[in-house]
Structure 1
């Protein structure tokens, strides 16, 4: 018995024995080690025993067939082989051995070894095959190098890989390039004529294996059967071995043109049905311009819909879909657009609609604009209108404040000084107004006043004085006068309170905070420079009179 037959029979006998042993001991571990070549995981123990052993037995049969094909002796050469063909056969067999030997090396090392075997083999294959033009072989080489480049970038850069391979589109492009490369390799083998129909059919079968794995994954949802199905992807290894085995014709030999490989009708039907089961019906079709990435980052992350004037015309449907789509509802883009158009029609007819007009403006701005013209403005126009409104409001407040200031009168006109001012102050929320040293940090003084807060009208601490006025719906007229010496006594009649306190000015500048919206500027109240000042407050309903003068030593 030849070696390939003996190895295949021996392996299948061992696999069958491991399955029987698994039935006896009630565990799939022996059969798993023999057929999968690595220890089973926890999911194997939780899966039903009979289906797992049945899949492992089928896998053992497939592996035995693989050994039969791989260990066959090369076909007899029709003539002396060239150097390129001999090196190509060596690289193909080395690649087969590398794929069959379990490896526990780091990912980067495995990637480098795999590429070191496959890339030179691909280059030599483009040199060895005949019957294809130079442009065809160059295109074959370029398509074949896309996947190795992606693998190198993925192994070297990990998460920081280039953008073209980091997004799903880049991964899809690399996968498509690999499929195109395989198709071109099989076409080149068929044109060359030295490879048998069986080898070409095995190569065609490599296309079905990914769909088989995807189908099993969709039906079993990540169970143990999926791992078994992935392990059955040995057609690629068999194709490499048969390609190396039948590389037996010298380049100067006239290639024969075999009959085109014919796939049985039953195989074609089964493959088509499997493909349809994997792809499934498109229950939620997407418009071409709304293709979404895995993270959904092509939609705007905002709580309000964008303004129609800010979106180009060709992007408005997409903006509408991004605003109304919800991740927990599977509704096709066409259905959403159709509902929006129907709402526009009802809105134009005066019927009530549940959709917000700001959203419908993205689909039918001419309809929404008749009743809501403000929705057709751009963000810049809205911001400009808001700025103009704020400016008008500020000017209105200044006019009202100037009118209030004009109604205020000096309560002690006989005491005249150039350093005085009068303004109106509104105390809507019980907040006091203050006098403080312009260059001092009065935060500590403010904390002291508020910590010891009482019902006093005047509160002073260090370089800060706060004047509390009773809450009322009208303005308080505040007059402050800075004097060089103590003023004469003023009759208390007509005043509710007269209080005094000392305030310190380290910089020689005591300022009154701005009271009125008209921005009345009070003078410097420290006429004598740095030092201690006496602050006297006369107050009655609606009127405050403040006198500031140097304190006696």
Structure 2
């Protein structure tokens, strides 16, 4: 038995067996795998079983017929074939193989491989075909290259956003590609008929590609997202059969007829189709507005752009981008007319609904009389904000220096070069801390904050937090680093005296900057790495911190 008969018979037998198995076990999975050649999704399991199996049976018959046609291979050579015809036959069979084998490559790679196989085949077709004039074949080649060029450009471009906001020019391009593909297929069938090598069945299969494409689109529109849609798309194999039959019958001898020329009627129809693609606009628009190919730029603004940041020749477009709604079509001229009318009424002192920041894009001289800040550029606004923040920082620093000057050392008899005093404002009820700067104190912080109870001093590992009571005046904080335990200090006059251990693995303990005057405290770990004792004396408006090695304190 010939291989194509064996393959078609085996495919049909597998299809029937899988459908019977699906009926027995009550699920379409076996039949789906045998006919669709990939696992089913959740939608298949939710669809009625009998209609799905009916569609899969029809698909199995189509697949068997396709295998019969494709696996017949090249017919014996009846007449000597030139290099072009031999190369064309090989390329056509490679195209068939590429279309039938499932691919899991990235989309752009698949597009490049498909074009690398089809474009040379198209070129050789225009060379091999006889009975058609040179202008006809040149037009066929040029139109045939339109769809591959657009496909490659779309694959190289990042069109994920364009799928959300498709411009009229983009839609017109897609329609033009569809028309070009239709015209190319018609011209190929006309050239094949004029050549005489291909049978009527091959030409009918080629014509059937139009019917199958229309059927797939019809089913897609009626049953979008359903199982029937997937089955209908899988039946679109007439193009593969046409390629195989075209390669199979290349061995015949062409008929010698007068060259085929493009009829006037065909040219007229092509011109009409192009006019239909271009078509009139639904409403007047300007070429530089939000409806142009650069429409994505319009949605880059969360707020209207400042007029000083936009060149004068682009302000109309910036206004249209800011006021246009993608779900509501209003012509550009109407939007601009309403905006300029609002400018006139604003100049006359009449109330308007439009935001002044938007109208400033159309009439800055009118809006600037009442809102001069709207005419400033973003750089000027940032500069003003920076100057305001600098003034506020300087004011805070001056106030902090005054507060620092009022603070006094509460234990002046205990002097050390490693001490500092600064004022601290506890506006947001946040503690100030002492820690090892080279340690990861995140876990220590969690331990302190998650403790069941703590009063003024909380310590864990290499972190200590001092919780000064919230108040409306500054707290004077004095920290002293000692080499040994200090003598006892009378508790009289202090509300609380607490002690705790703190660890320094790196030999450094730092206190955060407390004052806006940027008073810096020295390294509080004078004896290097080890365990230190931290003693805190506190009363309203004053904290005294003593840090010394714990081993010497013992």
TM (norm. structure 2) is: 0.57
Residues 131 and 256, structure 2, Cα contact 8 Å, conserved in 1: no
Matched with 1:520 is 519
Provide the rounded CA distance (Å) in 1 between the counterparts of 2:158 and 2:410: 76
Structure 1 residues 288 and 123 mapped into 2: Cα distance closer, same or farther (>3 Å)?
A: farther
Counterpart of 2:147 (choices 145, 148, 151) is: 151
Note the 1:258-297 alignment, pairs <5 A: 282-290=281-289, 292=291, 296-297=295-296
2:133 counterpart of 1:125: yes
Structure 1 residues 468 and 223 mapped into 2: Cα distance closer, same or farther (>3 Å)?
A: closer
Matched with 2:459 is 460
Structure 1 residues 149 and 460 mapped into 2: Cα distance closer, same or farther (>3 Å)?
A: same
Structure 1 residues 246 and 373 mapped into 2: Cα distance closer, same or farther (>3 Å)?
A: farther
Deviation for aligned residue 1:319: 1.0
Matched with 2:354 is 355
Provide the rounded CA distance (Å) in 1 between the counterparts of 2:437 and 2:222: 76
Structure 1 residues 316 and 247 mapped into 2: Cα distance closer, same or farther (>3 Å)?
A: farther
Q: Residue 465 of structure 1 aligns to a residue in which SS?
A: strand
Q: Residue 338 of structure 1 aligns to a residue in which SS?
A: helix
Matched with 2:155 is 160
Matched with 1:311 is 310
Deviation for aligned residue 1:111: 7.0
Note the 1:110-509 alignment, pairs <5 A: 116-118=124-126, 125-126=133-134, 145-153=141-149, 157=152, 159-161=154-156, 168=170, 171=173, 248=258, 282-290=281-289, 292=291, 296-509=295-508
Structure 1 residues 453 and 523 mapped into 2: Cα distance closer, same or farther (>3 Å)?
A: farther
Residues 131 and 259, structure 2, Cα contact 8 Å, conserved in 1: no
Structure 1 residues 123 and 529 mapped into 2: Cα distance closer, same or farther (>3 Å)?
A: farther
Provide the rounded CA distance (Å) in 1 between the counterparts of 2:530 and 2:275: 93
Residues 449 and 460, structure 1, Cα contact 8 Å, conserved in 2: yes
Residues 144 and 178, structure 1, Cα contact 8 Å, conserved in 2: no
Q: Residue 516 of structure 2 aligns to a residue in which SS?
A: coil
Residues 168 and 293, structure 1, Cα contact 8 Å, conserved in 2: no
Matched with 1:132 is none
Deviation for aligned residue 1:513: 1.4
Which sections of structure 2, spanning at least 5 residues, go unmatched? Answer: 1-84, 86-91, 93-97, 101-113, 163-168, 188-213, 215-219, 224-253
Deviation for aligned residue 1:169: 8.5
Q: Residue 133 of structure 2 aligns to a residue in which SS?
A: helix
Deviation for aligned residue 1:383: 2.2
Provide the rounded CA distance (Å) in 2 between the counterparts of 1:528 and 1:437: 14
Q: Residue 145 of structure 2 aligns to a residue in which SS?
A: helix
Deviation for aligned residue 1:500: 1.8
Q: What is the aligned residue count?
A: 382
Provide the rounded CA distance (Å) in 1 between the counterparts of 2:380 and 2:177: 47
Structure 1 residues 381 and 291 mapped into 2: Cα distance closer, same or farther (>3 Å)?
A: closer
Residues 432 and 467, structure 1, Cα contact 8 Å, conserved in 2: yes
Structure 1 residues 249 and 497 mapped into 2: Cα distance closer, same or farther (>3 Å)?
A: closer
Bigger CA radius of gyration: 1
Q: Residue 548 of structure 1 aligns to a residue in which SS?
A: strand
Provide the rounded CA distance (Å) in 2 between the counterparts of 1:347 and 1:451: 60
Residues 436 and 510, structure 1, Cα contact 8 Å, conserved in 2: yes
Structure 1 residues 523 and 367 mapped into 2: Cα distance closer, same or farther (>3 Å)?
A: same
Q: Residue 299 of structure 1 aligns to a residue in which SS?
A: helix
Residue-by-residue CA offset, 1:76-121 (whole Å, 9 max, x unaligned): xxxxxxxxxxxxxxx9xxxxxx9xxxxx977867776555445777
Deviation for aligned residue 1:531: 2.6
Residues 290 and 320, structure 2, Cα contact 8 Å, conserved in 1: no
Residues 147 and 175, structure 1, Cα contact 8 Å, conserved in 2: no
Provide the rounded CA distance (Å) in 1 between the counterparts of 2:176 and 2:275: 23
Matched with 2:10 is none
Provide the rounded CA distance (Å) in 1 between the counterparts of 2:131 and 2:405: 95
Provide the rounded CA distance (Å) in 2 between the counterparts of 1:403 and 1:147: 83
Provide the rounded CA distance (Å) in 1 between the counterparts of 2:316 and 2:433: 57
Residues 115 and 148, structure 1, Cα contact 8 Å, conserved in 2: no
Residues 365 and 376, structure 1, Cα contact 8 Å, conserved in 2: yes
Provide the rounded CA distance (Å) in 2 between the counterparts of 1:122 and 1:385: 78
Deviation for aligned residue 1:299: 2.2
CA RMSD after TM alignment? 5.0
Provide the rounded CA distance (Å) in 1 between the counterparts of 2:420 and 2:294: 64
Moved more, 336-345 or 364-373: 364-373
Provide the rounded CA distance (Å) in 2 between the counterparts of 1:473 and 1:450: 24
Which sections of structure 1, spanning at least 5 residues, go unmatched? Answer: 1-90, 92-97, 99-103, 130-139, 186-213, 215-220, 225-243, 251-260
Deviation for aligned residue 1:144: 6.3
Deviation for aligned residue 1:425: 0.9
Q: Residue 501 of structure 1 aligns to a residue in which SS?
A: strand
Q: Residue 483 of structure 2 aligns to a residue in which SS?
A: coil
Deviation for aligned residue 1:423: 0.6
Q: Residue 300 of structure 1 aligns to a residue in which SS?
A: helix
Residues 528 and 550, structure 1, Cα contact 8 Å, conserved in 2: yes
Q: Residue 430 of structure 1 aligns to a residue in which SS?
A: coil
Deviation for aligned residue 1:384: 2.4
Structure 1 residues 317 and 492 mapped into 2: Cα distance closer, same or farther (>3 Å)?
A: same
TM (norm. structure 1) is: 0.57
Deviation for aligned residue 1:414: 2.6
Residues 399 and 518, structure 1, Cα contact 8 Å, conserved in 2: yes
